[in-house]
Amino acid sequence: MTHPTDSIEFASLLCSRLCHDLLSPVGALNNGLELMADETDPDMRQRCLDLLTDSARTSANKLKFFRLAFGSAGGFGDAVPTHEARVAIEGMFSTVGRVKVGWLVEEDMLGKLPVKILLNLALIAGDALVRGGQLDIGAEQRTGVTEIVVRAEGPKLVLDPDLRSALAGTLPPEGLASRTAAAWMVRELVVKAGGEVALSPPGESVLLFGVSIPG
Domain membership of residue 11 (yes or no) is yes
Number of domains in the chain: 1
**pLDDT reported for residue 1:** 41
Of 16-30, 86-100, 131-145, 185-199, minimum mean pLDDT range: 16-30
Domain membership of residue 144 (yes or no) is yes
Tell me if 128 sits within 8 A of 99, measured CB to CB. Answer: no
Note the pLDDT tens digit of each residue in 66-83.
Answer: 989 988 765 677 889 999
Domain membership of residue 2 (yes or no) is no
Q: Rounded distance, CA 154 to CA 151, Å?
A: 10
Mean pLDDT of 204-211: 96
Domain membership of residue 103 (yes or no) is yes
Domain membership of residue 119 (yes or no) is yes
Q: How many CA atoms lie within 13 A of 47 on its CB side?
A: 9
Q: Rounded distance, CA 108 to CA 4, Å?
A: 37
Q: What is the rounded average pLDDT for all residues in the chain? A: 89
In sequence order, the 6+-apart residues with CB closer than 8 A to the CB of 188 are 1, 2, 3
- 175 DSSP assignment: G
Q: Which pLDDT band, with edges at 50, 70 and 90, does 202 fall under?
A: very high
Domain membership of residue 152 (yes or no) is yes
DSSP string, 113-139: HHHHHHHHHHHHHHHHBTT-EEEEEEE
Domain membership of residue 106 (yes or no) is yes
For residue 74, the domain's CATH number is 3.30.565.10
Note the pLDDT tens digit of each residue in 148-167.
Answer: 999 999 999 999 999 999 99
In sequence order, the 6+-apart residues with CB closer than 8 A to the CB of 166 are 175, 176, 180, 183, 184, 186, 187
Model-level pTM?
A: 0.87
What is the domain extent for residue 184?
7-214
Tell me whether residue 38 is exposed, middle or buried, using C-beta atoms within 10 angstroms of its C-beta: 0 to 12, 13 to 18, 19 or more. Answer: exposed
Residues in the chain: 215
Domain membership of residue 157 (yes or no) is yes
